[in-house]
């Protein structure tokens, strides 16, 4: 299951949970009866009953009978045809997914019905006050808290987005089914809706047929914001504010945001060649575009709501200033091709009447290839060109009008909002078409040599005989021409019927938009009075829309020179009029309105700013060294990577103090190096307004950090010189990521070395408010040395980093690169934060949420609200009442000994046993995981087949599929056994009871052991592993049993998960479907390895992988 058990609710009503599981199961049965027939459904039910009976026998201790039933089930599965196995896998996979939906729904329902929710803001604020914290201290701590949740695209989300949405729809229907006022007919309709959703799910392909791109992954992250976080954030902040008001007498300030969001989607290029500088730029701009799109919707809703006239004097003055400005600009140049809005005094019909009623004489002369039959046809061609520029499609085919269409397309591709004049010229210079000019514009025809012509990207339309001149409002002229060629997109035809169709299409596309806009925005003379809030918010909307249009042009790499006063650059600019409206409502006695939708919008702007989620950039340290190698070699300075650390630091420090760029603009470098330089250039152009941190993976030295600082400084100098002004936004924070055990042990020394360098320390104080950020990685350290050793090394590294920063008076924020599964550092959020070293969480925290956990924790607004609240309360408690350190030095020594034995046992098996790699490849579906298409990045950093270069996700994922979950427990049993045999068992029991870190480490291991299944793991070995390697599997199973024995000895539990009865019950409820899925997977793997080109077999295997992931509620 997902590791959110303790974060959602402590209890679950199993009666109602079982009822919903039965409802969904019976509906799926009904659907399958229609889809696959009753004969096959009898087989499905027989397999389920056999599995259920075997589980019951095993739980009762009747092992022999359980084994007989399991053998019967395995025999029946092995006799199935491929089509039957495929269908059975799909059926059980959907059963498990539906059970997961019901489980999540009932956790939420239990949480909503609990009068006192533990770990809520109300609960923790009360605890702190009872423990002696003053109300003022509590208030200040909450207001100063800085938590950032960073969403990543790590490939662990196995469900297609289409199916995720369908699952969300079922969850909403279950929620609706809980309503006590639901009538008989309503309930019948709800059942029909559920049947439709389940039918739709069954008829949908579960498998991704192609890998997502990096931009696709970023869009998925933005969808989480739109579908869930956008609604959850205001609700969460209201909870915090209400609890503060209750316990301290003061509400949370409107613009105070204890939690913000970041993203790696589109910025994480470590080992992923698909994330390029251009992709990063596109994702950053796309994120800004979506932010403005969401703000425009909210402002529109606010304008409906705030219809009152009573306001403060300052808001009234602002509204009158806006009206006066609009009135004075009525006759100024506007984009005549757009529907008119309230700022325009002339109606569309009036503008249209000013056009000539017929074409000038000689319009049909062959010297010009542009043809039109009448003014209306001219306008329709113009409209067609505009629609093409906006949508990329042609509403109506044009033949005789193709030349004019192409010319006008150039206009709208360059600027869909140009103001000025249009003049069509033939080669003799005489105008043959209507000259359209808005009052107040001057037109001066310029030729191409003037330097202000259209972009060369439009050479398709160039013709020396004919030119189309466009004069923009700022005096810029774009010339375009057209000549038929083989590159013309397509041959088109044109008829009067198509013309009527075009007119109708255009009218219908504009009718609703125009009439609705007129309803919202009556012209000035029609206003019965001044609605000041609507005037101000209308102005806000206009500015938002202009900013959004500018982003569209940037995304298309088109010219977009606009007056900076016409669009929003910072969140503070957007907040200013909103806060003025809020203060006006409060001062006018309408506080109840101010604290509604308007307050929610202000809180959203304060949280999401202009980008929704700031994008982190991540690259491996070796790539920066390669870049500096190229630069120093070009400058005849030697090869950077061959220098020792001191020489590197001397060089980097000297260059950082200088004011000139290091990289010559004419330098020619390899493609990989150019990509690194281009990334820094994008970062310089967009700055810290769009980007968060630059994370250096595999960091091991101080020079790794200074190298990035130098490349960043150089790029900013170059871009600033080109722009003729300073770069927008500030420099990015540079964050070293310590991942391997070796690097974790040296993390404190690296930070001390950095802070001892005068330039760097002054840079941190001046540009980053005296704040150093350090990231620690959980995945690779766990794969290196095992989960237990990794946990202890991470604990010590954090202690050392905090001490190093304290020595220099620098504040520190620790960034936790936690995975979703426990094998990669995952676990319940509250437990994880509460087990950190004392002093490591001082009101600040960054943490990743990866892959499947993003959807699990934030996919629904209700779960998102709870997760955000848990983050807030856990960080607050860890700050004001830090967890206890080890009571005595002896405990630390015991941890060292356990870690040493555990690490030795783990590495001797994984890295030193020559048979282990082959065993791993035979006993798990690791090699087949690549066909899942669940991520844009490769499964390996390098082409080597060894475990060292295998990413942590497929490493954990593969063992989770076989229910062996080896990466979590391997070595732990040996470590605990070694210490207990030396007479320290009582010390370990005391450590478990009194030391939060040790307790959480053991509890997480126990949780995973409760999900492991020795008989299932043994089945994989017996069927798939070569006889010569089966003894290795037997040894590992004995090690698993040893681990279970000593974990129970330390915790004092009689059986696994004794302290988490809910988890044990939920796992048991899934086994009748999960066990047959594993048996199916073994059978399909056996067949596939004999016929590896069989696409149908491969699909069946991928279905079993999906189903087991749903049953385990974990992937990697």
The Cα–Cα gap between 233 and 600 comes to: 9
Nearest of 830, 832, 829, 869 to residue 121 by alpha carbon: 869
List beta partners, residue 261: 149
Three-state secondary structure call for residue 150: strand
Mean pLDDT of 202-213: 86
Asked whether the beta carbons of 870 and 107 are under 8 A apart, the reply is no
Q: Note the pLDDT of residue 429.
A: 39
What pLDDT, in 10s, does the model give residues 59-93? 888 999 999 999 999 999 999 999 999 999 999 99
Write down the pLDDT at residue 937: 57
Q: What is the pLDDT of residue 933?
A: 66
User: Which is nearest to 331 in space by CA: 353, 346, 349, 352?
Assistant: 346
Task: Name which residue leads in pLDDT, 484 or 963.
Answer: 963
The answer, yes or no, to whether residue 390 has pLDDT greater than 90, is no
| DSSP code for 810 | -
Spatial separation of the C-alpha atoms in residues 599 and 609, rounded to whole Å = 15
Supply the angle between the helices 571-587 and 313-328 in degrees, to the nearest 10: 130
How high is the pLDDT of residue 325? 86
C-alpha distances in Å from residue 712, one per residue of 617, 677, 679, 684, 698: 12, 9, 9, 7, 19
Gap between the Cα atoms of 490 and 111, Å rounded: 60
**pTM (2 decimals)?**
0.80
Share of the chain above pLDDT 90, in %: 59
* Catalytic residue (one of 154, 648, 816, 984): 154
**783 carries an active-site annotation:** yes
pLDDT at 444: 36
Range picked from 36-45, 98-107, 330-339 for highest mean pLDDT = 36-45
**Could you tell me the pLDDT band of residue 108, with boundaries at 50, 70 and 90?**
confident
Q: What is the pLDDT of residue 379?
A: 40
Which tokens is 908 given? 């001797």
Q: Using CA atoms, how far apart are residues 224 and 867, in angstroms rounded to an integer?
A: 14
Catalytic residue among 783, 796, 816, 977: 783
What CA–CA distance (Å, rounded) separates 1040 from 73?
Answer: 26
Token pair recorded at residue 323: 């009206």
Whole-number pLDDT of residue 585: 96
Q: Is the pLDDT assigned to residue 582 strictly greater than 70?
A: yes
pLDDT band at 529 (very low <50, low <70, confident <90, very high): low
Over 50: is that where the pLDDT of 152 sits?
yes
The reply to whether 993 belongs to the active site is no
Between 889 and 363, the more confident residue is: 889
Q: How many CA atoms lie within 13 A of 448 on its CB side?
A: 14
Angle subtended by helix axes 184-202 and 14-36, to nearest 10: 60
Whether the per-residue pLDDT at 466 is higher than 80: the answer is: no
Does pLDDT of 481 surpass 50?
Answer: no
Q: DSSP assignment, residue 1027?
A: G
End-to-end CA distance of the chain: 12
Q: Residue 357's pLDDT is what? A: 40
- 888 versus 414: the higher-pLDDT residue is 888
Residue 420 Cα distances to 433, 470, 1004, angstroms: 16, 7, 68
- pLDDT class for 114, splitting at 50, 70, 90? low
| Out of 796-805, 880-889, 1062-1071, least confident range | 1062-1071
Between CA 311 and CA 320, with CA 314 as vertex, the angle to 5 degrees is 85
Tell me how far apart the alpha carbons of residues 137 and 346 are, in angstroms, rounded to a whole number: 60
- Confidence (pLDDT) at 795: 95
| Lowest-confidence segment of 16-20, 785-789, 941-945 by average pLDDT | 941-945
Q: At 707, phi and psi to the nearest 5?
A: -60, -45
For 901, residues 6+ apart whose C-beta sits below 8 A from its C-beta are 971, 974, 975, 978, 979
Q: Please name the residues in contact with 469: beta carbons below 8 A apart, sequence gap of 6 or more.
A: 422, 423, 425, 443, 445, 446, 477, 478, 479
Which pair of structure tokens corresponds to residue 121?
Answer: 């803001």
Give residue-wise pLDDT tens across range 435-457: 333 333 333 333 333 343 333 33
Count of CB atoms situated within 10 Å of the CB of 56: 16
Residue 198 has pLDDT above 50, yes or no: yes
What CA–CA distance (Å, rounded) separates 253 from 599?
10
Provide the 3-class DSSP secondary structure of residue 822: helix
Section 255-271 average pLDDT: 93
Counting beta carbons within 10 angstroms of the beta carbon of residue 35, is it exposed (0 to 12), middle (13 to 18) or buried (19 or more)?
middle
Which residues does residue 469 pair with via DSSP β-bridges, in sequence order?
423, 479
Cβ partners under 8 Å of residue 215, min gap 6: 266, 279, 282, 283, 286
Residue 7 has pLDDT above 50, yes or no: no
pLDDT at 337: 40
130-144, 167-181, 482-496: range with highest mean pLDDT: 130-144
Banded pLDDT at 935 (limits 50, 70, 90): low
- Give the contacts of 9 (CB within 8 A, at least 6 positions apart): 107, 108, 110, 111, 114, 117
- The answer to which of 326-340, 583-597, 657-671, 932-946 has the lowest mean pLDDT is 326-340
Tell me how crowded residue 39 is: count the other CB atoms within 10 A of its CB. Answer: 7
pLDDT reported for residue 17: 83
Q: What is the mean pLDDT of residues 809-831?
A: 84
**pLDDT single digits (tens) 736-767:** 999 999 999 999 999 999 999 999 999 999 99
Please check the confidence at residue 867 and state whether its pLDDT lies above 90: yes
Among 230-234, 381-385, 966-970, where is mean pLDDT lowest?
Answer: 381-385
What is the spatial distance between Cα 345 and Cα 600, in angstroms, rounded to a whole number?
Answer: 34
Looking at residue 209, its pLDDT comes to 81
How high is the pLDDT of residue 468? 38
What percentage of the chain exceeds 70 in pLDDT?
A: 78
Residue 191 has pLDDT above 70, yes or no: yes
Long-range contacts of 770-773 (CB under 8 A, 24+ apart): 770/809, 770/810, 770/811, 771/810, 771/811, 771/812, 771/813, 771/844, 772/805, 772/810, 772/811, 772/812, 772/813, 773/693, 773/733, 773/735, 773/812, 773/813, 773/814, 773/815, 773/846
Banded model confidence at residue 1057, pLDDT cuts 50, 70, 90: confident
Q: What is the pLDDT of residues 969-1015, one digit of tens each?
A: 999 999 999 999 999 999 999 999 999 999 999 999 998 898 899 99
DSSP class of residue 660 equals S
DSSP summary character for residue 268: B
- Which pLDDT band, with edges at 50, 70 and 90, does 1109 fall under? confident
1039 or 523, greater pLDDT: 1039
Q: Which pLDDT does position 897 carry in this prediction? A: 97
Answer yes or no: is pLDDT of 621 > 80. Answer: yes
pLDDT classification of 1066: cutoffs 50, 70, 90 = confident
Lowest mean pLDDT among 430-439, 682-691, 943-952: 430-439
The answer to whether residue 286 scores a pLDDT higher than 60 is: yes
Confidence band for 854, pLDDT divided at 50, 70 and 90: confident
- 421-425 sheet: strands from edge to edge: 436-437, 421-425, 467-471, 477-480
pLDDT confidence tier of residue 372, bands split at 50, 70 and 90: very low
Mean pLDDT within 460-476:
37
User: Which ranges of 160-213 does DSSP label H, i.e. alpha helix?
Assistant: 161-177, 184-202
b/e 1058-1084 (16+ beta carbons within 10 angstroms → b): eebebbbebbebbbbbbbbbbbbbbbb
pLDDT at position 518 over 60: no
Task: Read off the pLDDT of each residue in 112-140 and give the average, rounded to a whole number.
Answer: 88
Neighbours of 336 (CB within 10 A): 21
Average model confidence (pLDDT) for the chain?
Answer: 81
């Amino acid at each position: 299951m997902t590791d959110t058990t303790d974060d959602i609710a402590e209890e679950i009503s199993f009666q109602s949970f079982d009822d919903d599981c039965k409802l969904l199961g019976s509906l799926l049965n009904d659907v399958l009866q229609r889809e696959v027939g009753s004969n096959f459904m009898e087989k499905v039910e027989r397999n389920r009953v056999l599995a259920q009976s075997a589980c019951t026998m095993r739980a009762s201790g009747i092992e022999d009978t359980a084994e007989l039933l399991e053998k019967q089930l395995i025999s029946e599965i092995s006799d199935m045809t491929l089509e039957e196995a495929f269908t059975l896998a799909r059926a059980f996979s959907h059963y498990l997914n539906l059970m997961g939906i019901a489980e999540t729904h009932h956790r939420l329902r239990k949480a909503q019905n609990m009068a006192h929710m533990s770990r809520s803001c109300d609960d923790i604020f009360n605890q702190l006050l009872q423990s002696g914290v003053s109300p003022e201290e509590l208030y200040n701590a909450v207001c100063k808290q800085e938590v950032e949740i960073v969403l990543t695209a790590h490939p662990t989300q196995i469900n297609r987005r289409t199916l995720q949405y369908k699952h969300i729809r079922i969850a909403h229907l279950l929620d609706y089914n809980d309503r006590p006022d639901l009538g008989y007919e309503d309930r019948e309709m709800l059942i029909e809706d559920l049947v439709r959703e389940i039918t739709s799910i069954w008829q949908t392909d579960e498998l991704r047929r192609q890998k997502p791109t990096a931009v696709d992954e970023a869009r998925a992250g933005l969808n989480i914001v739109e579908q869930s976080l956008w609604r959850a954030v205001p609700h969460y902040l209201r909870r915090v504010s209400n609890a503060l008001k209750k316990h301290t007498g003061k509400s949370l300030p409107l613009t105070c945001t204890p939690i913000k969001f970041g993203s790696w989607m589109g910025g994480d290029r470590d080992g992923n060649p698909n994330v390029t500088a251009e992709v990063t730029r596109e994702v950053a701009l796309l994120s800004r575009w979506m932010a403005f799109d969401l703000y425009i919707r909210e402002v529109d809703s606010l304008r409906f709501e705030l219809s009152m006239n009573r306001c403060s004097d300052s808001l009234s003055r602002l509204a009158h200033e806006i009206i006066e400005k609009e009135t004075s600009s009525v006759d100024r140049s506007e984009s005549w091709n757009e529907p008119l809005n309230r700022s325009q005094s002339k109606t569309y019909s009036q503008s249209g009447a000013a056009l000539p009623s017929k074409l000038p004489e000689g319009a049909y002369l062959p010297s010009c290839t542009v043809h039109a039959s009448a003014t209306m046809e001219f306008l329709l061609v113009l409209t067609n060109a505009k629609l093409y520029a906006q949508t990329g499609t042609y509403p109506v085919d044009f033949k005789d009008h193709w030349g004019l269409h192409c010319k006008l397309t150039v206009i709208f591709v360059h600027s869909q909002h140009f103001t000025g004049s249009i003049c069509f010229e033939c080669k003799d210079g005489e105008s043959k078409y209507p000259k359209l000019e808005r009052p107040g514009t001057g037109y001066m025809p310029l030729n191409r040599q003037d330097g202000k012509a259209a972009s060369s990207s439009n050479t398709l339309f160039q013709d020396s005989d004919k030119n189309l001149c466009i004069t923009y409002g700022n005096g810029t002229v774009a010339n375009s021409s057209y000549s038929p060629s083989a590159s013309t997109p397509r041959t088109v035809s044109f008829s009067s019927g198509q013309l009527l169709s075009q007119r109708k299409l255009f009218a219908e596309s504009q009718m609703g938009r125009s009439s609705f806009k007129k309803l919202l925005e009556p012209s000035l003379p029609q206003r019965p009075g001044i609605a000041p809030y609507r005037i101000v918010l209308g102005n806000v909307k206009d500015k938002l829309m202009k900013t959004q249009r500018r982003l569209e042009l940037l995304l298309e790499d088109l010219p977009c020179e606009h007056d900076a006063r016409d669009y929003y650059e910072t969140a503070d600019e957007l907040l200013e009029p909103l806060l003025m409206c809020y203060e006006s409502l409060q001062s006018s006695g309408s506080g109840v309105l101010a604290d509604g939708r308007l307050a929610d919008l202000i809180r959203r702007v304060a949280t999401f700013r202009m980008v929704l989620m700031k994008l982190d950039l991540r690259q491996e340290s070796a790539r920066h060294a390669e870049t500096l190698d190229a630069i120093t070699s070009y400058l005849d300075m030697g090869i950077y990577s061959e220098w020792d650390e001191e020489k590197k630091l001397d060089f980097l420090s000297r260059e950082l103090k200088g004011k000139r760029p290091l990289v010559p603009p004419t330098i020619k470098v390899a493609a990989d190096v150019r990509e690194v330089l281009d990334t820094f250039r994008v970062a310089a152009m967009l700055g810290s307004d769009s980007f968060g941190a630059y994370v250096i993976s595999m960091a091991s030295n101080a020079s790794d950090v200074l190298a990035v600082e130098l490349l960043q400084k150089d790029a900013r100098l170059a871009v600033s010189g080109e722009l003729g002004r300073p770069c927008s936004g500030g420099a990015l924070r540079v964050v070293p990521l310590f991942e391997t055990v070796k690097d974790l042990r040296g993390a404190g020394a690296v930070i001390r070395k950095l802070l001892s360098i005068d330039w760097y320390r002054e840079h941190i104080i001046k540009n980053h408010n005296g704040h150093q950020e350090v990231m620690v990685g959980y995945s690779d350290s766990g794969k290196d040395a095992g989960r237990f050793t990794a946990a202890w090394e991470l604990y010590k590294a954090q202690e050392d980093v905090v001490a190093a920063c304290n020595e220099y008076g620098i504040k520190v924020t620790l960034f936790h690169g936690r995975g979703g599964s426990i094998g990669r550092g995952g676990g319940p959020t509250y437990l994880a934060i509460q087990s950190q070293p004392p002093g490591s969480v001082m009101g600040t925290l960054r943490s990743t949420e990866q892959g499947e956990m993003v959807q699990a924790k934030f996919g629904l607004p209700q779960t998102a609200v709870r997760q955000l609240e848990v983050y807030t309360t856990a960080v607050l408690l860890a700050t004001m009442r830090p967890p206890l350190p080890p009571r005595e030095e002896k405990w630390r020594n015991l941890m060292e000994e356990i870690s040493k034995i555990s690490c030795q046992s783990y590495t001797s098996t994984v890295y030193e046993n020559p048979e282990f790699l082959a065993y791993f490849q035979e006993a798990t579906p690791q090699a087949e995981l690549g066909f899942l298409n669940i991520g844009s990045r490769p499964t390996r950093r390098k082409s080597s087949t060894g475990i060292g270069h295998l990413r942590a996700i497929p490493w954990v994922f593969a063992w989770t599929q076989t229910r062996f979950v080896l990466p979590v427990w391997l070595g732990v049993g040996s470590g605990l056994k070694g210490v207990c045999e030396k007479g320290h068992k009582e010390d370990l029991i005391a450590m478990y009871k009194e030391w939060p870190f040790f307790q959480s480490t053991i509890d997480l291991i126990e949780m995973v052991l409760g999900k492991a299944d020795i008989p299932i793991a043994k089945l994989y070995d017996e069927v798939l592993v070569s006889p010569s390697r089966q003894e290795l599997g037997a040894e590992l199973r004995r090690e698993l049993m040893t681990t279970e024995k000593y974990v129970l000895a330390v915790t004092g539990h009689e059986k696994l998960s004794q302290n988490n009865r809910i988890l044990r019950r939920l796992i048991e409820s899934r086994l009748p479907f999960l066990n047959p899925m594993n048996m199916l997977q073994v059978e399909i793997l056996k067949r596939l390895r004999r016929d590896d080109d069989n696409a149908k077999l491969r699909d069946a295997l991928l279905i079993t992988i999906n189903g087991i992931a749903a049953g385990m509620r974990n992937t990697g």
